[in-house]
Amino acid sequence: MRLLPLWPMVAALLSCASSSHPPVVSPSGPPPFDEARAVHVLRRLAFGPSAREMSEVRRLGVEGWVEAQLARSGSKPSPELEAKLQALPTLTMSMADLARDFPPKKQREQALLDGRELQRPALIVYDLSAAKVLRAVESPGQLEEVLVDFWFNHFNVSAEKGAARWMVTSYERDAIRPHVFGRFRDLLGATARHPAMLFYLDNWRSTRDGMPRLLRRDAQSAVANADMPGDEPDEEEDPRPGLNENYARELLELHTLGVDGGYTQQDVREVARCFTGWSIRRPRREPEFIFRRRAHDPDEKRVLGQRIASGGNLEDGEQVLDLLARHPATARHLATKLARRFVSDTPPPALVERVAKAFLDSDGDLRTVYRALFQSPEFWAHEARGAKVKTPFEFVVSALRATGAEVTVRPRLVQSLARMGEPLYRAPAPTGFPEVAAPWVNSGALVARLNFSLELVSGRLPGTRVALAQLATTPAARTAEDTVDALGHSLLGAPPSAETRATILAALSKRAEAASAEGEPGPVDVPLIAGLLLGSPEFQKQ
């Protein structure tokens, strides 16, 4: 299809970042069920409305649905979803098994010479990405999936960095997912100890001053001293000289206090000293957390004015985590990020302060924090509705849910996300993917969204099937205008704006003219309408 008639829509999409309000639709009368309110909560606490989820909200009421979601921690997937996840075998494998069965190219080539065939490590990230899409589309625990996505991004690690590719599956499964409804201190500690974080931010190599030469000269002695029980020294995995501040800096700046949290460069260094010795046993073969006592700096430290006595070991790092998890700056930083994710890109300061207070008063109980946010008037305010722009992942999943698509993830679907700028599990920086609109609103990315929408509804996206006839209920003798409005209500939760409606009708007119010139007039082009509605500015907002 020629894109020229669609450029008005692309221009409208580009205005998403600066436009905070969805079109206002005047109700014809007081409905018994506030559908707009339900759509709002499903856009924020789920990956967009679906027919099944809307039915659940009708049955439980909006507040009842929210409480049910808060209670679903660790809920089992449906049998249908479970069957799809079981077809992705790497999801339940240990880090050691993944390193053994999905080795680097050099080891795969040797295995072929020995008559064995091993899989490429890229399949690990593919399985993980497929599972993320499937859970977001089909899981009844929608809020849990939204929170796993949020907290993984907050504590980001990238599978692009060396041995991290064998660790990311366990990182999400074992460090992030079990703690999203628990205490922040437990979540913080689980990420700090996990080999994926230790490797990604290089803390596994961090040593006290004067230690590395000794270790390199007498590695066998280190093994005998129980630093690596039962292991063979490996020069490639031997910690390199000196203190590494990468994890300490991101711990303070990103994970807890925030960039304006009141810490100094000296605090960064002292925190790094506290975490010396937090390392990994054989990262490229049998990754697991190990405390290397001989690598640890046992001298006194002072972090944020608090003395950490000399003679400590593993507990030095734990004391730092205790201090940071209860710090008022951490409460404000996390409250700001959560409010930015669930309310608006520029959250109201009063809301941030209330959520931060809930964090401190509850000792970081995350359910309490979420309730303070979801029960706030700012969350439900009219100006918060449609005030955020979907990330590529949110867009793709919400499109699949809105259309009721039957989904079996294929590489093309995962690649579509990368083309839109969000390659799953491969965010290039510790900051993760952007959580505000501006980075996602550019012409190239939005054309990719529009193309994805048209592929989805026209049946050209492998592994997905959409039944468009079930989406619109209009009289049999429908006009193009009737179909646009009916599909608009199904996919957008409200009739499309006048601008979107005019753009779609113009595209239909162009298509009809072309068909007439070829002597092939036909029915209203429903796939084109549905695709343009999914690509419209209204659908990009949440």
Write the pLDDT tens digit of every residue in 366-379: 999 999 999 999 99
Write the pLDDT tens digit of every residue in 315-358: 999 999 999 999 999 999 999 999 999 999 999 999 999 999 99
Domain range list for the chain:
1-26+388-542, 72-193, 201-343+346-363+373-387
Between the alpha carbon of residue 314 and those of residues 14, 276, 277, the distances in Å are 51, 9, 8
Instruction: Name residues whose C-beta falls within 8 Å of residue 105's C-beta, 6 or more positions apart in sequence.
Output: none
Q: Are 252 and 263 in contact (CB under 8 A)?
A: yes
Between the alpha carbon of residue 132 and those of residues 51, 127, 144, 146, the distances in Å are 20, 9, 12, 10
Confidence grade of residue 5 (pLDDT, cut at 50, 70, 90): low
pLDDT at 468: 80
Q: Which two tokens stand for residue 139?
A: 């899981």
Check pLDDT > 80 for residue 523: no
Instruction: Quote the crossing angle between the two packed helices 480-492 and 526-534, to the nearest 10°.
Output: 40
Low-confidence winner among 188-202, 458-472, 524-538 (lowest mean pLDDT) = 458-472
Confidence grade of residue 409 (pLDDT, cut at 50, 70, 90): very high
Maximum Cα–Cα distance across the chain: 88
What is the C-alpha to C-alpha distance for residues 199 and 216, in angstroms, rounded to an integer?
Answer: 20
Residue appearing with tokens 């952007």: 434
Please give the share of the chain, as a percent, with pLDDT higher than 90: 73
What is the C-alpha to C-alpha distance for residues 74 and 148, in angstroms, rounded to an integer?
Answer: 11
- HEC-encoded secondary structure of 84-96: HHHCCHHHHCCHH
Confidence grade of residue 237 (pLDDT, cut at 50, 70, 90): very low
Write the pLDDT tens digit of every residue in 90-141: 999 999 999 999 988 777 666 555 566 567 889 999 999 999 999 999 999 9
Instruction: Name residues whose C-beta falls within 8 Å of residue 11's C-beta, 6 or more positions apart in sequence.
Output: none
Dihedral sign (CA 186, 189, 193, 194): positive
**Which amino acid does the sequence have at 146?**
V
What is the C-alpha to C-alpha distance for residues 166 and 94, in angstroms, rounded to an integer?
Answer: 9
Write the pLDDT tens digit of every residue in 212-223: 554 544 333 333
Q: Bigger pLDDT: 148 or 75?
A: 148
Beta strand spans in 199-311 (E): 278-281, 288-291, 301-303, 306-308
Tell me the average pLDDT across 7-11. 58
pLDDT at 240: 58
pLDDT at 478: 73
What is the C-alpha to C-alpha distance for residues 276 and 322, in angstroms, rounded to an integer?
Answer: 17
pLDDT at 1: 43
Low-confidence winner among 198-207, 478-487, 492-501, 517-526 (lowest mean pLDDT) = 517-526
Check pLDDT > 70 for residue 10: no
Host H or E run for residue 210: none
> Which among 265, 271, 281 is positioned nearest to 324, based on CA atoms?
271
**Which amino acid does the sequence have at 176?**
I
pLDDT at 512: 81
Dihedral sign (CA 166, 167, 172, 174): positive
| HSE toward the beta carbon, residue 476, CA cutoff 13 A | 0
What is the C-alpha to C-alpha distance for residues 145 and 170, in angstroms, rounded to an integer?
Answer: 16
Check pLDDT > 70 for residue 279: yes
Instruction: Quote the crossing angle between the two packed helices 443-457 and 526-534, to the nearest 10°.
Output: 140
**Would you tell me how many other CB atoms lie within 10 Å of the CB of residue 362?**
16
DSSP symbols for 119-150: --THHHHHHHHHHHHHHHHH-S-HHHHHHHHH
Host H or E run for residue 406: strand 406-407
Instruction: Name residues whose C-beta falls within 8 Å of residue 82's C-beta, 6 or more positions apart in sequence.
Output: 76
Question: Phi then psi for 101, rounded to 5 degrees?
Answer: -90, -15
What is the C-alpha to C-alpha distance for residues 505 and 137, in angstroms, rounded to an integer?
Answer: 30
